Amino acid sequence: MLPTLAVLADLELEVGATSEVRKQSFAPGEIVIAAGERGDACYFILDGQARVRNGERTLSLLNPGHCFGELAVLSNAPRSATVEAEGPLVVLRVEAQRFRRWYLCHPPLESLLGTLQQMYQRPEGGLVTIHRGEHDGHPCVSSVRELANGRAMMSTQLIGRKVLILSVSGPHEGDARTVEHAGAEAPGERVGASRTLHLRGGVPVSAEIVGGVEGVDHLVARMVMGRSLREAELARFRWTGTTAAAQASSGLLCPCVGLTIAQARTLLGQDGATDLAQRCGAGSICGNCRPKLESIRNGSTHDGRDAPKLGPRQRLRRLLGRG
């Protein structure tokens, strides 16, 4: 049984037993749904491939086991894109009313469609092909997006689990390096959340995200562009799980790694300033927050906002290990 239909097996699906669920066949180039139409049904691909387009621009290619048209049905909105048969195509058409009943009473189907919607919203850009399959024995949805220079970006989302795997294909050069972020290390994060980043020559080539996906877009952009990450970005990832710069705020102590004053006070109660630098990188990048760290470590009520800033020469000396 195809993976998508396996999700529906508990619904005692009997194809052809009702007019609400039936097989349909389409010839190559024939339109299945058109943009702007009412969402009166959704479709599961049984055999063949479907092309999703907006005008003449191809958005994605869908394969057996994939579902389309469900977003318009669930949101009671017009179709946002046109889907046509890439070749001979066989689908399972499910009328809107029946599909909504399935969605409300069957959590695995809700989980599957939530995963598919996340794949639609990935920011990588480029033509995407979406597949259903398994990863280490777990059902998953994978999208492959074409990039420049013959490369491709793959995003794999496990169904029913908060696990996202990102990878970029193509030739990779340089030394291998792994940087890990354990969510429980940072105060306030959920235990069990983790992120692992793999680099070649300083360029991110793959990542495993366990837990939420907040703040991943910046890393994805770096992977797509094939850009190397600076040490400050790697230190930030190790501490916060994201490579994006922290938003400036009165409670931010170390912008390089995104460490807040409250977090520093908690950690300095356990570690010295040197151990803190080794643990999350605070004070080890530009050195501008070292006076604030020392002030907090010494038991001062100093909140770090008016500590003297280091000049360019002092910052350079500290980066070179001379200050």
Please state the pTM of the whole predicted model. 0.56
Mean predicted lDDT score pLDDT of the chain: 76
Query: Domain 1-127, CATH 1.10.287.540 — does that match?
Result: no
Residues of the chain with CATH 3.30.390.30: 162-245
Backbone φ, ψ for residue 6 (5° rounding): -65, -35
**CA-wise closest residue to 207 among 179, 174, 239, 245:** 179
**pLDDT (tens digit per residue) in 122-159:** 444 556 666 767 888 887 777 787 787 788 888 888 87
What is residue 124's predicted lDDT score, i.e. its pLDDT? 47
10, pLDDT greater than 80:
no
Rounded CA gap, 201 and 124, in Å?
A: 22
CATH of 162-245, picked from 2.30.30.700, 3.40.50.1100, 3.30.390.30, 2.40.50.460, is: 3.30.390.30
323 C-beta neighbours (distance < 10 Å), count: 13
